[in-house]
Amino acid sequence: MGQRVSDSFTIPLCYPHHHQLHMTGERKFWQTLGINPVFYADLLFGVYNQNKTENDQYLWENMYKKVTPQIKANIDFLNQLK
């Protein structure tokens, strides 16, 4: 049985994309999207630890604004759910 990874390395995904990540391979999934998962996991964990979870402007500027164009550019890949 595997051990659970620390929350500091966690990025929330919906079930279909979590499954796609495992079917594609974790490294290839994030490389295809052009997203550095460690950077965003650190950012989310920092937001949580600094009690900034209600600060939508902070999350928009530091995360969503950067990730959204990459997701839009790779929407075909994300729609290839198996």
Task: Quickly count: other Cβ atoms within 10 Å of residue 29's Cβ.
Answer: 20
Residues of the chain with pLDDT > 70, as a percent, come to: 94
Cβ atoms of 73 and 34 within 8 Å: the answer is: yes
pTM, two decimal places:
0.76
The two structure tokens encoding residue 74: 């790779």
The two structure tokens encoding residue 64: 């969503």
DSSP 3-state of 38: helix
Split at pLDDT 50, 70, 90, the class of 75 is: confident
- In the prediction, which pLDDT does 1 show? 62
Question: Look-up: residue for tokens 């890949």?
Answer: 77
